Every structure is written in C-alpha cells, then in structure tokens.
Structure 1
Amino acid sequence: MSLTPPELPQDAAYTPYWCEENVYLLIQLFSQNSSLSEIWEVFAVFISNYSETVALWNQKLSKEPGQPVIWDYHVVAVLRPRNFSSNLHSWVYDFDTKLDLPVTWDTYFARTFLNNVPDEFQSLFRVVSANVYLDRFASDRSHMLAAIPPGTLPNLNYLQPVPPYPPLRGPQCMTTHNLMHFVSMLSSHGHGDVYDMKGISGFFCLREDPELPL
C-alpha cells in the first residue's frame, strides 16, 4: 500500500532564512484542505539543541559539496498518515534541502543527520501539532535584528531581507514574540514534545528496518 503526499502548493510562500514563517504559512495552507486533514496529521518540527548549533547535511546553503550547514535552529513541516503503519511513509517539507520536496522521512533523516557528530552539533527535535503551531506561535522578527553598536540610535537593520507580509501571530497567542520557546529543547519550555535522534525516528518512521543515518 502507498499513500501519495500532497504536492507543495503553488502559492506556498518562501523567504530565505525565515524557515519558521515559511513552515507556518505552508501548514496554514494545508489546514485549509479538509480532505488532506482527514488523511494526514501535520506537524511543525523545530530542529536545534541546547547550544543552538546543529549540523544538517544536504542543505542548499552548504558552502562545499558534502559539508553540513550549521544552523542555530531549523524548521520543517512533516505529514504523518493518520492510519500509520509500518508500510506507510511520513513526508518532510523542507524548503532549504537539496533533497526532494517533499521527501520521505526516512530518506530525509538518513541524508540530513549523522550519528557520529560531536554532541554540540547533534540535533534534538521539538514536534508541534499543526493546530497548536497556528494558534500559539508569534514572531515580531526581533531575533533577526542586527546588533546596534554602542552610542548609535536604534534602527530596524535586519540581518536578512524580511518577508513581504506582516509578522505572524496566532489567534490564541498572548504575546508578539515567543519563537525561542519553540526553538528551546528544554522539555519544560514551549509547546509540543522534544525528541532525540532515536525518538524522532520512531515517531515518524514505523518501518521494521528503518533507514539509519550514514
């Protein structure tokens, strides 16, 4: 049995370096499709660690072939079949990967993460359900403001060009900025559940012989 994932919507927004917003808007599009929601569970997955230095391979911004990109955090969308079994795939939507879009979770996992990296570059994962992410996430984009030199006036000098739409804020969010609560890998912070490499593979891949990182 196979289950074909939805294609990336043609009107999906993408702004480089704003992965949390790209994924928010993609999940918003998916949530508007009732037939999709009947078949798939949709999640936002934050990838980071306690030092906010994670190594991801096969990223478009890699400076050299075969070399990882070191992110402070990264965010992807994952669709998991509601009637999940060992012969069905979860699918990853990562706007910044060199792999397919979407790509199966086991392929993405095997080609994006390595087991034998130093602890400071090893990934942890915060998994947040679509409805919680859409309702509870907010960002005023202050995390992307450039540092202001002493003695200068405050300004809105962003490290990267900002998206062409207003900052995002979920309808049930009581603050204008809680991004770092999602980025945090402390289980007591934020929403959703935190997994290590073994735990996240089990959550999204129930195959009897899952493909492991190289």
Structure 2
Amino acid sequence: MHNTPPATAKRMCTSWRKHYLARRRYESVLLFEQEASQYDAPHPVLWDYHVILLLSLAGREYVVDLDTRLDKVIEKNAYLEHTFSSKTPPAYRASISVTPAHIFLNTFASDRRHMKSASGVFSSPPPPWSCIKGTDASSPHNLDDWIDGAIDGSEVIQPVYV
C-alpha cells in the first residue's frame, strides 16, 4: 500500500482553498450528473455524503469533484447548476459544510470503517493509499462528525437549488 495519495492530488492540495462536504439533512443527499448513477440523464445518485473541493485560480472559483460526469474541474456556478436541482424533494436536499482547506487536512481522519459491512468486508475496494489521519485529528475516524457538521471552523450553508 502507498502511504500517500497520488501526486496529482498532492498538487491540487496546494491550490485549494475550501473543502465542501455535501452532507445529509436526513439520511441521503440527491446529487445529479454523478458517474455512479445507474440512470439516464440527469444521472441522479443518493449519497450519504459527498466531498468536493473549491479551487480559486486566476480570480475564478472552480469545483473539483472526482465523481461527477461533468468536467472534473469545473467553474463553481456551472457545477452548482447541474448538480443541485430545484426539483429535489426537501428531504434529499443537502446542507454543505464549508471548511478551510488547512483545517480539513489537519483534522480529518478516516480508518475506512464506513466502507465495511457489519461482517467487516469492504463493500468496494479501498483506495491504494494508507488510511487518512490529519496531524491534529483526535481519533482514527471522525467522518461522522464531519457529516453531522460538528467540526470547529466549518460553516454550514444551504446550496441554492436552481
């Protein structure tokens, strides 16, 4: 296993400004234009959470979403327009935790327990790099705290459903 994420991910981390976590208000959030969709356009998926990055480059803001059918790096407004729909039932609308990149990198931790069944078997192959644990993370797994929005330094916002 590799100890670090791929070099391309490391290069992105030097430019990104914020981390966005589309988190559930109830059980799932409905996002569109997702590669994991088994349906025709607009390619909906129900996620229990979804992580994206916000890059600021040359005075413009871009979203990085490795799971979208859209461009992986896309202008923020175009991403929001295609990913969040006004037709989304209120129970499946996301709240978004916006966190400065340095807080996310230093405090996020995941030992991948959320990827395992009750019997301890991975539901999908895990990434090839080691589990993530920021230098200031207080436990080996705090993903649920992130999903619940209980992280100091995060701001919870509601996306504009267009």
Interval containing the TM-score (normalised by the shorter chain): 0.7 to 0.9
- 1: CA distance between counterparts of 2:86 and 2:56? 23
Amino acid paired to 2:110: S
- 1: CA distance between counterparts of 2:20 and 2:118? 28
Alignment partner of 1:164 is 2:128 = yes
Runs of 4+ in 1 over 2 A off after TM superposition: 28-31
Deviation of 1:177 (Å): 0.6
Alignment partner of 1:53 is 2:35 = no
Q: Give the RMSD, CA atoms, in angstroms.
A: 2.0
Q: Percent of aligned pairs with the same residue?
A: 27
Runs of 5+ unmatched residues, structure 2? 1-5
* Contact 1:52 1:73 (C-alpha < 8 Å) held by counterparts: no
* Contact 1:44 1:133 (C-alpha < 8 Å) held by counterparts: yes
- 1: CA distance between counterparts of 2:70 and 2:12? 21
User: Could you state the TM-score of these two structures normalised by the residue count of structure 1?
Assistant: 0.67
Question: Which structure: greater strand fraction?
Answer: 2
Partner of 1:104: 75
- 2: CA distance between counterparts of 1:97 and 1:65? 14
Partner of 2:45: 69
How many residue pairs match? The answer is 155
Runs of 5+ unmatched residues, structure 1? 1-9, 13-25, 149-155, 199-211
- 2: CA distance between counterparts of 1:118 and 1:30? 34
* Correspondent of 2:12 among 23, 30, 40: 30
Which structure has the greater CA radius of gyration?
1
1:39-98: CA deviations, max 9, x gaps? xx51111002221311111111111222411111100111135x9xxxx53101101111
Higher RCO (CA < 8 A, seq sep 6+): 2
Alignment of 1:55-134 (within 5 A): 55-66=30-41, 67-80=43-56, 88-134=59-105
Alignment of 1:122-161 (within 5 A): 122-148=93-119, 156-161=120-125
Partner of 1:151: none
- 2: CA distance between counterparts of 1:56 and 1:65? 13
Partner of 1:190: 151
Alignment partner of 1:44 is 2:15 = no
Deviation of 1:169 (Å): 0.4
Deviation of 1:143 (Å): 1.2
* Contact 2:110 2:140 (C-alpha < 8 Å) held by counterparts: yes
Alignment partner of 1:179 is 2:143 = yes
Deviation of 1:100 (Å): 1.0
